Amino acid sequence: MLATILRIGVNVFRESVRDKVLYNLVFFALLLIGASLLISQLSAGQEVKIIKDLGLASISMFGLFIAVFIGIGLVSKEVERRSIYALLSKPITRAQLIVGKYLGLVLTLAVNVGIMTVALYLVLAWMNWQTSPAVRETWEAPALDPALLKAIALLFVQLMVVTAIAVVFSTFSSAILSAALTFGLYVVGHFNADLRNFENVLDSRVAAWTARALYYVLPNLAPLDVKTMVVHGQYVSPAYVAVTTAHALTYIAALLVLATWIFSRRDFK
Amino acid sequence: MPAAIVTEHLTKDYRVGFWRPRPYRALDDLSLTVEPGEVFGFLGPNGAGKTTTLKLLMQLVFPTAGRAEILGRPVGDPAVKRRIGYLAEHPYFYDYLTAEELLGYFGGLFGYSGADRTRRVARLLDEVEIGAERRLQLRKFSKGMIQRVGLAQALINDPEVIFLDEPMSGLDPLGRRDVRALILRLREEGRTVFFSSHILADAEALCSRAAILAKGRLVASGSLSEMLAFQVRGWEAVVEQLPSESLPRLEATARRVQRIAEGRYSLEFPPEPPPEQVLPSLLSAGGRLVSVMPLRQTLEDFFVERVGSADWDRMGQ
Ligand SMILES: Nc1ncnc2c1ncn2[C@@H]1O[C@H](COP(=O)(O)OP(=O)(O)OP(=O)(O)O)[C@@H](O)[C@H]1O
Ligand SMILES: [Mg+2]
């Protein structure tokens, strides 16, 4: 059972590793992280902060591209090209197919985020070595701050949510529509918390309930973004990381149940 | 022992039309039983509903009405899927994998691993005559090679029941012969083969029993010899070096006489009397027989005859 899911996942990983798109994305991400070194030279005293900002933004942006562009094709490509016929005639369930595909892309993302993280730390290490101890004293946070890993971990969880959204859409709609909808929800997900405030200013009960319902149904991505806090050396508690992660994982589980529910009822014609 | 395949009143409507979807009946009330060990031909012209039936049996689509069982269990049961193999029509496989990797992946889904899996993969690829190309990505494969890989993947688990949707399509004459040999071998091993085709000759060479489908309905089923006995429409002979004095006699017996070249004729005769009676007297004054061939109805003719050319309006209901 679990073995089947893992085999499907490993095949997704193998597919993406052989995909040129992935290499292009990773290449540009590394280029951007490297270029941050040059850009930071333009702002005296802020170098480390700029490198961190740009590095985390690159990881977030390119991770998003990978999650969306591979995620939307995960299931829909199998259906459109009809490779799903042979796959589903093997002893697997449609639920295993969905979960396996999802985990495969999460694995791909983990490896890529890992590579980008190493690149970021290398640039920061170079910066650290170049700078005199006196200047280092003035930094809000050390260059090789381990707290960066907290931000990256939560970023990764955010990408896991986006991937699950892409998988849901790709079980019933075409790749282009799925991409648009996933990007749409990604943006909405960053403002979702505002719905909570909105609720308080609404007079109508119906409107207030709608706002509340949307708050629970739509993804809530903003809490998973602690880039700014970490860059400015503010403390992010492990408890916060754990709770937001647990919350996101619950949301992901619900999305995968939904994807399976839709997918299990589909005709492949 | 349960039947290999049973369908009861199996019916499938597709919804067609974008703005006002209407149901379109692709398969209408199909009831069939295939016994274990049979090679069963599922025949019918284009659009008859053969692929639809196979997809229903693989639970790639869900029936509008009716039910189907394989090996005594409902279709879609993973325990059943362990014991069957399926080759889709115009198959497509992951083009980023090599033939070896594809079979390895599918073998893994059946729980094979290590040396056992490697051995199975190698044996099957040998069997369908994929040589050193097995290390190439499938994007570099020709249509016929993909079809062979498709046959190999359908057999990875030594299935008891094998479903093949037009297994000969895309193959050259040698390839078709190989597939025939493969199907006959599967039968010798006691496996059940259910294959669709619109080519009567394939069915005649292979099947113990067959069903003929047209416009989603079963029009005939049973042993092929019974179904097609009345089918011979006449026969055709080609003769050469025929002396011209034989011509008048020829024109009296033959339905059609066509001159191909000097002394060489193509002749068409009614079914009776049979060629073994007609030809000796015809060639008594000289001439050489080049070929004799029965003229048969195509599947298309058969279906027009049985179903009638009056189209029932299936779009309407
Ligand atoms: N996805 C679909 N949507 C609507 N109609 C469909 C769909 N798939 C098949 N049909 C219709 O159902 C009927 C049966 O199609 P099917 O593919 O089962 O025929 P077939 O016997 O396999 O034909 P062929 O020999 O050409 O492969 C056809 O009239 C076809 O137009
Ligand atoms: Mg077909």
Question: Hey, is A1 helix, strand or coil?
Answer: coil
Alpha carbons A208 and A200: distance in angstroms, whole number: 7
Position B270 scores a pLDDT of 86
The predicted pLDDT at position A228 comes to 85
Q: Report pLDDT for B308.
A: 54
**From B15, B25, B52, mutation site for ligand 1 pocket: most ligand atoms within 8 A of C-beta:** B52
Phi first, then psi: give them for residue A191, nearest 5 degrees.
-110, 5
Query: What whole-number percentage of chain A has pLDDT above 70?
Result: 99
Q: Which of A7, A84, A265 sits opposite B105 (nearest CB)?
A: A7
Residue A212 lies in a domain: no
Q: Is the CB of B63 under 6 A from ligand 1?
A: no
Question: Which residues, at least 6 apart from B204, have a Cβ–Cβ distance to it below 8 Å?
Answer: B224, B228
Asked whether residue B106 carries a pLDDT value surpassing 60, the answer given is yes
Which positions in chain A touch B87 (Cβ < 8 Å)? 86
The verdict on residue A199 lying in a domain is no
Q: Which residues of B touch A85 (CB under 8 A)?
A: 55, 58, 60, 86, 88, 91
Residue identifier of the C-alpha nearest atom 22 of ligand 1:
B51
What's the pLDDT score for residue B228? 62
Is pLDDT larger for residue B152 or for residue A25? B152
- Is ligand 1 within 6 A of the CB of residue B39? no
- Residue A269 is assigned to a structural domain of this protein: no
Query: Over 50: is that where the pLDDT of B310 sits?
Result: no
Structure tokens of B228? 């097609």
Average pLDDT over residues A3-13: 94
pLDDT in tens, B194-217: 999 987 778 888 888 999 888 899
The domain tally of chain A equals: 1
Q: What's the pLDDT band for A42 if we cut at 50, 70, 90?
A: confident
Which uninterrupted H or E stretch holds B26? strand B22-34
- Has residue B232 got a pLDDT over 90? no
Q: Phi first, then psi: give them for residue A202, nearest 5 degrees.
A: -85, 135
Q: Which ligand 1 atom minimizes the distance to the CA of B89?
A: 27
What is the band of B316 on the pLDDT scale with cuts at 50, 70, 90?
very low
Report the pLDDT averaged over residues A11-15.
93
Residue B83 corresponds to which tokens in the numbers above? 């014991």
Residue B297: how many CA atoms within 13 Å on its side-chain side?
16
Residues in A touching B14 (Cβ below 8 Å) = 269
In this complex, do A269 and B84 lie within 8 Å of one another by their Cβ atoms?
no
B237 has pLDDT over 80: yes
- Which of A14, A81, A265 comes nearest B92 by C-beta? A81
pLDDT at residue B84, as a whole number: 96
B14 CA distance to ligand 2 centroid (A)?
15
Q: Report how far apart, in Å, the C-alpha atoms of B162 and of each of A229, B42, B285 are.
A: 61, 13, 55
Domains of chain B, start order:
5-228 (3.40.50.300), 232-296 (3.30.70.980)
Tell whether ligand 1 has an atom less than 6 A from the beta carbon of residue B16.
yes
Q: Which two tokens stand for residue A93?
A: 């369930």
Among A77-91, A248-262, B218-232, the range scoring the smallest mean pLDDT is B218-232
> Among partner residues B78, B88, B111, which is closest to A85 by beta-carbon distance?
B88
In this predicted model, what pLDDT tens digit does every residue of B149-186 receive, in sequence order? 999 999 999 999 999 999 998 888 888 899 999 999 99
Q: Which of A151-160, A171-180, A245-254 has the lowest mean pLDDT?
A: A171-180
Q: How confident is the model at residue A100 (pLDDT cuts 50, 70, 90)?
A: very high
Determine the average pLDDT of the residues in A35-46. Answer: 75
pLDDT surpassing 80 at residue B313? no
Tens-place pLDDT, residues B75-104: 988 899 999 999 999 999 999 999 999 999
Domain that holds residue A25: 2-190+225-264
Look at residue A215 and tell me if it is in a domain. Answer: no
- CB contact, 8 Å: A13 with chain B? no
Listed residue (B151, B163, B144, B205) closest to B50, CA to CA: B163
Q: Point out the ligand 1 atom lying closest to the alpha carbon of residue B53.
A: 18
Average pLDDT value over all residues in chain A = 88
Indicate the pLDDT class of residue A266, thresholds 50, 70 and 90: very high
* ipTM of predicted assembly, 2 dp: 0.88
Question: Does B23 contact ligand 1 (Cβ within 6 A)?
Answer: no
Q: Which residue of A has its CA nearest to B58?
A: A89
Residue A60 CA to chain centroid, in angstroms? 7
Q: Give the DSSP letter string of A11-38.
A: HHHHHHHT-HHHHHHHHHHHHHHHHHHH
Question: Residue B94 and residue A15: Cβ atoms within 8 Å?
Answer: yes
Whether A19 has its CB under 8 Å from any CB of chain B: the answer is yes
Cα three-residue angle B223-B228-B233, rounded to 5 degrees = 170
Cβ contact B91–A85 (<8 Å): yes
Mutate to test the interface with B, among A1, A23, A89 (most CBs of B within 10 A): A89
pLDDT of residue B303: 60
The per-residue pLDDT for B230 is: 53
Between the CA of residue B293 and those of B74, B271, B286, B296, B300, what are the distances in Å? 45, 11, 21, 9, 19
Chain A residues in contact with B61 (beta carbon < 8 A) = 267-269
Which has the higher per-residue pLDDT, B262 or A199? Answer: B262
